[in-house]
Structure 1
């Protein structure tokens, strides 16, 4: 197995968040326009999606080349971007790309929930090196995150089905990122309590 390498955190964040911001900028610039390609008319959203697909693959590839590691969540996200983004472009139907976050969060919630039913925290396998917690802390955090992901899936469905495309793009670009950041910030007490317990046990 290749040794995992560390890179500048700012570069890592740019590679992870860059495609999302690029999609947002492309959509803002193209949303009022339509283009005819090979006899088919495409709106700005579909073209922004078409550009997002190779970009997410490129940045994921660069991240792997620099660190020799890509998380399973990142791989799953890239695969679903290709599948649902490809369907959006192929069928010229923006609904498929709007459904992608729902599928991603249902998948994550399902995986975490399956682990909990087996008495395990799959989240611990992914994040243990970054966040040292006692086993009970991992179980609590995993349960909360599974519920959180399920809530995001429901929220995405409500927004894309009942609100404008502009609202959904803003939600996808900023709302989801802020929500995930806020979730982990809100777990400070859990990290302090169960992190301290693990340090004492060690």
Structure 2
């Protein structure tokens, strides 16, 4: 009974976390369609500022990646509104994803898979498992940066914003799902949640 309750609570928390991540993007998309990119950016900043403390309440800690992303939303969104130049908000995903990719890649060079301190509470992997998972996410962050560059430089603003919700976000979910075989294969211990009946 308690195991079922824990599973339900974990599922609810994941659902809330996804809503907190996707919510500001949805509001950005809607506001841009109605009032333009600058109003959309302002609402994106406010929604992100509200979502981050909600993350804190949900996770009982400040989540590193949303926190870094939120900081860049504030900085680049603020520059977009102040200078009336939407290039800044369009560059934000490229810079953030490249930053994550460089940081994780640097960790690999120094034989320190930095995903472990971020997600070690959720996953118990072998050293090789952490190395492979970090390598894959490093490459994927650069892919996301490249996708953003293609979208904002070659398509209208509305299409670029839609790509955040209907391309980059789904790609991230699919990519994360595709890592399950790696997690299953390199789980460290007998309590592997990816093995049926464990």
TM-score category (smaller protein): 0.7 to 0.9
Match of 1:20 in 2: 25
1:134-149 to 2 correspondences below 5 Å:
134-149=126-141
Following superposition, the deviation at residue 16 of structure 1 comes to 2.5
- TM, length-normalised to structure 1: 0.84
Unmatched 5+ stretches in structure 2: 1-8, 193-198
Following superposition, the deviation at residue 157 of structure 1 comes to 0.9
Following superposition, the deviation at residue 111 of structure 1 comes to 0.7
In the alignment, structure 1 residue 162 sits paired with structure 2 residue 154: yes
- Among 175, 178, 183, the residue aligned to 2:170: 178
- Among 82, 90, 102, the residue aligned to 1:98: 90
Following superposition, the deviation at residue 200 of structure 1 comes to 4.9
- Among 178, 181, 187, the residue aligned to 2:179: 187
- Among 56, 67, 78, the residue aligned to 2:48: 56
In the alignment, structure 1 residue 133 sits paired with structure 2 residue 125: yes
Match of 1:29 in 2: 34
Tell whether the 8 Å contact from 2:22 to 2:165 is kept in structure 1 after alignment.
no
- TM, length-normalised to structure 2: 0.85
Following superposition, the deviation at residue 167 of structure 1 comes to 1.6
Following superposition, the deviation at residue 187 of structure 1 comes to 1.5
Task: Work out the CA distance in 2 between the residues paired with 1:201 and 1:52.
Answer: 40
- The secondary structure found in structure 2 opposite 1:82 is helix
Following superposition, the deviation at residue 54 of structure 1 comes to 1.7
Task: Work out the CA distance in 2 between the residues paired with 1:110 and 1:77.
Answer: 15
Between Structure 1 and Structure 2, how many residues are aligned? 182
Q: Which moved more, 1:122-131 or 1:99-108?
A: 122-131
Following superposition, the deviation at residue 46 of structure 1 comes to 1.0
